[in-house]
Structure 1
């Protein structure tokens, strides 16, 4: 199963992706650090990434999370990751969106496209009603990705997540299936 545009495609992470994911994370470690929690050193090992992918595969099978690798179509090269996590069912039908892209691939529309594809999956295959994302106010590029995908600003959560060792405020964004349909954002 894959979701695609002319430039990129998404597919669920598989165990054989761990080495490529590690390479991607190592290459972007300094670039991503200001936007991520401090993780144990084991996170940036092959075993750490194998565990991350194994957890993602388990969550995908259970329907509690949907993590995708982002790949360039022409080169079949992994350039990022996008995930729908913390899936809640019942009356909420919600997931949290998270993503990162190789620093060399920023500003080319790949992240916007990857989020769009993940939303297609969320509102069709995963049968979710709502997807939310939290972004630090200074992360203007990420805010723009969400805006281009039709997310609305819902509010500011003070000291929401511990990022790079500091409790950071986050702007909460969300989109529902009705929003997406109304905005005619079903496909790119």
Structure 2
């Protein structure tokens, strides 16, 4: 199984403990930017130790094939600029997962997350052994809507009050891509 994915401008690498400090710094630097798009954290401020624990969970999920989390790195500098996660994996007859992602605000609007999501979808539908990848996006999050549409996800419908984001139950558009849709 090929774990790392290299694109033109970004690489996806499975999360490892050595990335904890960079992830902590990325999340801390972007805390205000990410807040409107995420569930309220149980702890308002997460420590480096908290991120080390999250990455230990990521490694366990890889081992158990229940989730695949990647750091998004700039090809040119090697800087960690985001994360893409394939989670809620179910094999058997469904072979499905959900995708989630975030990107450093300083790198928004450059097509880097579109490239990263395409690389993650390629992993999921090939080496990951999945048939379907689902994304749930708040309709007002136009940047994320553009990402999934550019990658080739199809709109499947609106799910009312789907997730509690920043303390409020938010509607989400449901998008999916399957092996039949995927063009490499």
Q: Offset at 1:6?
A: 2.3
Residue in structure 2 matched with residue 71 of structure 1 by the alignment = 73
Q: Offset at 1:79?
A: 0.1
SS at structure 2 position matched to 1:79: strand
Match of 2:23 among 17, 21, 24: 21
- What's the TM-score once normalised by structure 1's chain length? 0.94
Residue in structure 2 matched with residue 148 of structure 1 by the alignment = 150
Residue in structure 2 matched with residue 137 of structure 1 by the alignment = 139
Number of matched residues?
182
Gaps (5+ residues) in structure 1? none
Cα RMSD of the aligned pairs, angstroms, is: 1.0
SS at structure 1 position matched to 2:181: helix
Residue in structure 2 matched with residue 84 of structure 1 by the alignment = 86
Query: Aligned equivalents of 1:152 and 1:73: distance in 2?
Result: 29
Taking the TM superposition and a 5 Å limit, the aligned residue runs for 1:105-144 are 105-144=107-146
Alignment CA distance shift 1:59-1:43 (3 Å) = farther
Which consecutive segments of 4 or more residues in structure 1 shift more than 3 A? none
Q: Offset at 1:40?
A: 2.0
Residue in structure 1 matched with residue 11 of structure 2 by the alignment = 9
The answer to whether the 8 Å contact 1:115/1:149 transfers is yes
Residue in structure 1 matched with residue 52 of structure 2 by the alignment = 50
The answer to whether the 8 Å contact 1:25/1:44 transfers is no
